[in-house]
């Protein structure tokens, strides 16, 4: 279908009018009468500055869809330009499809305006409430990586990504430009970046807008793109943007045609567009002696004093009437035919793009059985040794093989698979990379589904886009460096929380982090690598979208992953070790333990765990070893002591059930922890995380939590534990203090353990290694 230029111009005028009206008006929405103060919203919220440029891009993409029946998903980086997205969604009828109250009539437009930036209405930025949206956008810089995640393994999809020039200043966006090097033109779709240069941030110029065309072209050619600069500053209704989008699509189709016929280009020059427009194009040029259009004064609300300043009120009316709304909407407020002619139909509308509600595209994940991969502990707990991550890698390798045909599972990691003993998966799928490499590079493949790059932001963005469009994935990374994406975690957790409140949103696959190279075994890398704080950040998010798991061995790790990879609507955090270690539970016991979330290990407890004098609780693989080693000391020293061992694999089960959906009942909690028994809790991370979860449980003061307390250096594993007060000797000393009626005996034993601990640390400083009594300790039934 070929549109006439005047139809496209009418559409853009209508979209710009609606966007501006959403910011300012709560009545007289189509200016049927002169504008008065009472027609204005009491609070003026939103960002006008990027709205015209967003509509320029939207209109050009609409033309492409109509002319070539293209499958287009839009990711809008300038998220505060939401009025433009709302305007386009309303004009194309998507809003009406999801909510009849937002019909394409005067009353429907008025309802949309009244909901925009109103309590319980639409926020000022993109959100899950907007159809076709998979990303909130904003200045944090994640839009482009997310767009690539949506394009991987979607060969027929074009993901257009509008990148704001303020957003483009961020480190995440700078790294994301390299994503094209990971995009396979055979198995993947394409990303069309549209860098929107409108000149200003909140109050200062953007870096990219101050660059010349030659500088911009050189920069992006260096990244590997084929940039085209489109200057719309003089004529916002020029056909140049439409032509650029059309030509970009032609170039994309040619790259894909060649690659899919066997002629894969070595460095495919994917097209991108640099769109220049004025900041807030169309707003008043000047009011009260202050320049507005094309300056930072147009960034948010251009006429912020309109309630009290008659000159601004008049300027607003003249501005809105400059779009000639009576020519764009009929007597009932419906867009006129020349406006509607610019809108695609059905699921080809950008707001109705199926990938924009990616849960609808999701198919069951093909997981292999665990039995062939489980560690045999038939000789009893502690009788076998294995690397949990290597065991998991064997299982994930089969997951990769089973998902090869449908290509709906990927692993993203910051160049750490080999270090974390997970590189076995490369036997089923290579590392994704589309550019030529030297002969010594190993396991690289343009169609690989393992993605390694030293940018945690890229990894997170890729995976978010992949999951949001109906697929599955896993994000392994060093524990200490997961915090690089703290802000992405924050934003995505809020996105998922809001998604649960949107009735038409279909849940998408959960985002699962696998934190390995955990801090307690980063003694060789030193203090900077010893940081378990990502747990705390996750626990501060809404409990309905979070989970934290600390499997103590390989079999519980397998069971945990089997449960989490098909999970939906959550962010799950798993902490696992990579080094060979003792294995405690057979597969059946591991399943029961993971189902419960926390359980008494009767085989480790004295007196079968009945009527305990003290409870030793532990969460995490290293705390589990130290707790059992401490119990070993206590059994030798105080053989009649009644001690129960409780292991926690799902950390959130200790929270009250009214505060976390995984929280065990009060009765279950009493069964594990009693009502007045002292509990010595050895925890993988910061003690504050456990105290936070225990709040609201009876007698929280009897829980004595030990964990990482910011003591560390380059040292040995035992010395790192001792420096934080969580070595087996420290735990035994603490437990002795809770054994009633044996003050003289326990006091002497505690002193002896303290002396032995200190002697070991002195020996470590002489030898530089942990002694055999630590490294060769084994559990004895």
Per-residue pLDDT, 237: 84
Tell me: the pLDDT tens digits for 182-207? Answer: 999 999 999 999 999 999 988 899 99
* Boundary of a domain, candidates 518, 545, 575: 575
Per-residue pLDDT, 3: 59
Location of structure tokens 């109250």: 101
Mean pLDDT over residues 411-431, rounded? 95
Neighbouring residues of 152: CB distance < 8 A, sequence distance ≥ 6: 182, 183, 184, 188, 189, 410, 462, 465, 466
Q: How confident is the model at residue 440 (pLDDT cuts 50, 70, 90)?
A: confident
Per-residue pLDDT, 285: 93
Per-residue pLDDT, 203: 85
Per-residue pLDDT, 258: 97
208 and 342 inside one domain: yes
221 and 305 inside one domain: yes
567 and 601 inside one domain: no
Mean pLDDT over residues 106-115, rounded? 98
Is 707 exposed, middle or buried, given 0-12, 13-18 or 19+ CB atoms closer than 10 A?
buried
Tell me: the pLDDT tens digits for 75-105? Answer: 999 988 999 999 999 999 999 999 999 999 9
Per-residue pLDDT, 5: 66
Position 586 in a domain:
no
Position 592 in a domain:
no
94 and 241 inside one domain: yes
DSSP characters for 41-57?
Answer: -SS--S--TTHHHHHHH
- Whole-number average pLDDT of the chain: 95
Q: How many domains does the chain have?
A: 3
Per-residue pLDDT, 744: 65
* Cα-Cα end-to-end distance for the chain: 78
307 and 456 inside one domain: no
406 and 333 inside one domain: no
322 and 395 inside one domain: no
Position 362 in a domain:
no
Position 364 in a domain:
no
* CA 714-719-725 angle, 5° bins: 120
602 and 564 inside one domain: no
* Cα dihedral 488→396→618→717 (10° resolution): -90
Q: How confident is the model at residue 745 (pLDDT cuts 50, 70, 90)?
A: confident
What distance in Å separates the CA atoms of residue 772 and residue 770, rounded to the nearest whole number?
A: 7
Length of the chain: 781
Exposure b/e, 420-445, CB count within 10 A at least 16 = b = bbbbbbbebbbbbbbeeeeeeeebbe
Q: Say how many CA atoms lie within 13 Å of 104 toward its Cβ.
A: 22
DSSP characters for 315-346?
Answer: HHHHHHHTT-HHHHB-TTSPBPHHHHTTS--G
Quickly list H helices, 414-545: 456-468, 486-499, 534-539
Sheet holding 703-706, edge to edge: 598-600, 643-648, 614-619, 679-683, 703-706
* Boundary of a domain, candidates 575, 605, 635: 575
Angle separating helix axes 82-92 and 5-24, nearest 10 degrees: 120
245 and 151 inside one domain: yes
What 8-state DSSP symbol labels residue 406?
T
Location of structure tokens 């660059």: 211
Share of the chain above pLDDT 70, in %: 99
pLDDT at residue 2 tops 60: no
What distance in Å separates the CA atoms of residue 297 and residue 292, rounded to the nearest whole number?
A: 5
Location of structure tokens 């929107």: 196
Is 563 exposed, middle or buried, given 0-12, 13-18 or 19+ CB atoms closer than 10 A?
middle
Q: How confident is the model at residue 699 (pLDDT cuts 50, 70, 90)?
A: confident
pLDDT at residue 686 tops 60: yes
Position 631 in a domain:
yes
Tell me: the pLDDT tens digits for 119-167? Answer: 999 999 999 999 999 999 877 899 999 999 999 999 999 999 999 999 9
Tell me: the pLDDT tens digits for 450-483? Answer: 999 999 999 999 999 999 999 999 999 999 999 9
pLDDT at residue 743 tops 90: no
Tell me: the pLDDT tens digits for 323-373? Answer: 999 999 999 999 999 999 999 999 999 999 999 999 999 999 999 999 999
322 and 397 inside one domain: no
What distance in Å separates the CA atoms of residue 222 and residue 422, rounded to the nearest whole number?
A: 33
Structural domain that includes position 425? 387-575
* Boundary of a domain, candidates 353, 376, 403: 353
pLDDT at residue 523 tops 60: yes
Per-residue pLDDT, 229: 97
Q: Which of 85, 74, 52 is nearest to 196 (CA)?
A: 52
What distance in Å separates the CA atoms of residue 297 and residue 748, rounded to the nearest whole number?
A: 74
Position 358 in a domain:
no
260 and 343 inside one domain: yes
pLDDT at residue 315 tops 80: yes
Q: How confident is the model at residue 4 (pLDDT cuts 50, 70, 90)?
A: low
What CATH number is associated with residue 493?
3.40.50.970
Q: Which of 492, 408, 353, 360 is nearest to 75 (CA)?
A: 353
Tell me: the pLDDT tens digits for 231-280? Answer: 999 988 889 999 999 999 999 999 999 999 999 899 999 999 999 999 99
CB 252 within 8 A of CB 173: no
What CATH number is associated with residue 739?
3.40.50.920
604 and 559 inside one domain: no
What distance in Å separates the CA atoms of residue 39 and residue 50, rounded to the nearest whole number?
A: 24
Per-residue pLDDT, 466: 98
């Amino acid at each position: 279908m070929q549109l006439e230029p005047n139809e496209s111009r009418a559409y853009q005028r209508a979209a710009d009018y609606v966007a501006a009206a959403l910011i300012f008006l709560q009545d007289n929405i189509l200016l049927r009468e002169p504008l008065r103060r009472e027609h204005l919203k009491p609070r003026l919220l939103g960002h006008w500055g990027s709205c015209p440029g967003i509509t320029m891009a939207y209109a050009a993409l609409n033309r492409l869809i109509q002319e070539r029946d293209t499958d287009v998903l839009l990711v809008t980086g300038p998220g505060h330009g939401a009025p433009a997205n709302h305007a386009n969604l309303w004009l194309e009828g998507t809003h009406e499809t999801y909510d009849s109250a937002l019909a394409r009539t005067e009353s429907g437009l008025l309802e949309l305006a009244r909901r925009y930036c109103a309590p319980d209405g639409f926020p000022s930025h993109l959100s899950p409430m907007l159809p076709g949206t998979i990303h909130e956008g904003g200045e944090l810089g994640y839009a482009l990586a997310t767009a690539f995640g949506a394009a991987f393994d979607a060969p027929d999809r074009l993901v257009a990504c509008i990148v704001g020039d303020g957003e483009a200043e961020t480190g995440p966006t700078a790294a994301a430009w390299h994503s094209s090097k990971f995009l396979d033109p055979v198995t993947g779709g394409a990303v069309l970046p549209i860098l929107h240069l409108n000149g200003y941030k909140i109050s200062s110029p953007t870096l990219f807008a101050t660059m010349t065309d030659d500088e911009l072209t050189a920069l992006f050619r260096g990244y590997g793109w084929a940039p085209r600069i489109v200057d719309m500053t003089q004529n916002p209704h020029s056909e140049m943007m439409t032509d650029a989008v059309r030509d970009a699509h032609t170039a994309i189709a040619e790259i894909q045609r060649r690659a899919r016929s066997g002629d894969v280009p070595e460095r495919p020059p994917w097209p991108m567009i640099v769109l220049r427009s004025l900041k807030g194009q169309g707003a008043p040029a000047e009011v009260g002696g202050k320049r507005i259009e094309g300056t930072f004064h147009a960034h948010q609300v251009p006429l912020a004093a309109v309630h009290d300043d008659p000159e601004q009120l008049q300027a607003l009316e003249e501005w809105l009437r400059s779009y000639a709304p009576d020519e764009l909407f009929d007597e009932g407020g419906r867009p006129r035919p020349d406006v509607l002619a610019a809108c695609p139909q059905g699921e080809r509308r950008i707001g109705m793009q199926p990938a924009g509600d990616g849960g609808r595209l999701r198919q069951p994940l093909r997981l292999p059985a665990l039995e062939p991969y489980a560690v045999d502990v038939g000789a009893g707990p502690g009788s076998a040794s294995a690397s949990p991550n290597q065991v998991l890698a064997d299982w994930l390798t089969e997951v990769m093989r089973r998902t090869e045909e449908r290509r709906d599972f990927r692993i993203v990691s910051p160049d750490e698979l080999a270090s974390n003993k997970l590189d076995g998966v490369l036997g089923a799928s290579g590392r994704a990379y589309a550019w030529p490499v030297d002969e010594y590079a190993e396991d690289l493949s343009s169609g690989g589904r393992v993605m390694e790059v030293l940018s945690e932001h890229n990894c997170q963005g890729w995976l978010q886009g992949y999951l949001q469009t109906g697929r599955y994935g896993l994000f392994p990374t060093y524990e200490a460096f997961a915090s690089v994406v703290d802000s992405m975690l924050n934003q995505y957790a809020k996105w998922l929380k809001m998604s649960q409140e949107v009735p038409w949103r279909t849940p998408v696959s959960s985002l699962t982090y696998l934190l390995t190279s955990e801090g307690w075994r980063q003694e060789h890398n030193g203090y900077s690598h010893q940081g378990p704080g990502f747990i705390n950040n996750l626990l501060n998010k809404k409990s309905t979208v979070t989970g934290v798991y600390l499997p103590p061995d390989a079999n519980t790790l397998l069971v945990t992953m089997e449960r989490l990879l098909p999970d939906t609507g959550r962010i799950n955090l798993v902490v696992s070790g990579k080094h060979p270690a003792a294995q405690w539970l057979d597969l059946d016991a591991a399943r029961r333990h993971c189902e419960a979330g926390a359980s008494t290990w009767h085989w480790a407890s004295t007196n079968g765990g009945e009527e305990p004098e003290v409870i030793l609780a532990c969460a995490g693989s290293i705390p589990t070893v130290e707790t059992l080693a401490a119990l070993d000391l206590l059994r030798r020293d105080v053989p009649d002591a009644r001690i129960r061992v409780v292991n926690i694999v799902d950390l959130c089960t200790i929270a009250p059930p009214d505060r976390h959906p995984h929280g065990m009942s009060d009765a279950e909690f009493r069964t594990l922890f009693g009502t007045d028994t002292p509990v010595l809790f050895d925890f993988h991370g910061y003690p504050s995380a456990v105290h936070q979860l225990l709040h609201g449980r009876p007698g929280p003061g009897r829980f004595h939590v030990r964990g990482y307390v910011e003591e560390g250096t380059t040292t040995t594993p035992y010395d790192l534990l001792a420096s934080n007060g969580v070595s087996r000797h420290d735990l035994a000393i603490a437990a002795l203090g809770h054994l009633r009626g044996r003050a003289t005996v326990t006091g002497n034993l505690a002193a002896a353990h303290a002396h032995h601990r200190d002697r070991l640390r002195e020996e470590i400083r002489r030898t530089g290694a942990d002694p055999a009594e630590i490294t060769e300790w084994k559990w004895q039934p």
